[in-house]
Amino acid sequence: MAAIEKVCEMCGDYHGHAMYRYKYNHLQMCPKHRKDFRYKEAVLYLSTLEDNKFDYCLVVNDMTVQGNVNGQYFNTACTVNYSSVIRKMRRLLRCRKLNIVKTNIFCWHMCGQTLEAYINGK
Ligand SMILES: [Zn+2]
């Protein structure tokens, strides 16, 4: 499992420990892909856990940035810095206002469903 966390979700390159730095409050991918996300429509799903920690998933519908994860970029590192994530996502997407959906999902495994289908089916 540890190896999967070090692989770029866009191109599949293996980055080892450098990925932790790339991924921190961001998405799991090499920095070179970030420009591809500019002006793309996306929704940031947040799931608040205990102790002010949260997981998040950026869902991008644009076909050019689906990566190897069907456009669903999860980060389940129990992040604490909420505002840093929002700031980084806004910068990534070059958007003034980020679409944010708050959820209470504690487990992000959705048995093959997309996140949107999972949430709408509840
Ligand atoms: Zn990559």
| Structural domains of the chain, count | 1
Of 28-42, 59-73, 78-92, 94-108, the range with the lowest mean pLDDT is 94-108
Does residue 2 lie within any of the structural domains? Answer: no
Residue 29: inside a domain, yes or no?
no
For 65, the domain range is 36-120
What's the CA-to-centroid distance between 82 and ligand 1, angstroms? 25
Residue range 31-39: mean pLDDT, rounded: 97
Which pLDDT value is given to residue 5? 87
pTM, two decimal places: 0.86
Decide if 115 is inside a domain.
yes
Beta strands in the chain (DSSP E): 42-48, 54-60, 72-79, 99-103
Beta-ladder partners of 60: 42
pLDDT over 70 (residue 108) = no
Averaged pLDDT, 32-40: 97
Q: β-strands 42-48, 99-103: how paired?
A: parallel
Whether residue 100 is contained in a domain is answered as yes
34: which 2 tokens?
Answer: 């970030």
Report how far ligand 1's centroid is from the alpha carbon of 121 (Å). 32
3-state SS, residue 39:
coil
- Most confident listed range (4-18, 40-54, 78-92): 4-18
**Confidence at 22, pLDDT banded by 50, 70, 90:** very high
- Give yes or no for residue 28 having a pLDDT over 70: yes
Q: Is residue 19 part of a domain?
A: no
How far apart are the CA of 32 and the centre of ligand 1, in A? 7
Q: What is the pLDDT of residue 55?
A: 87
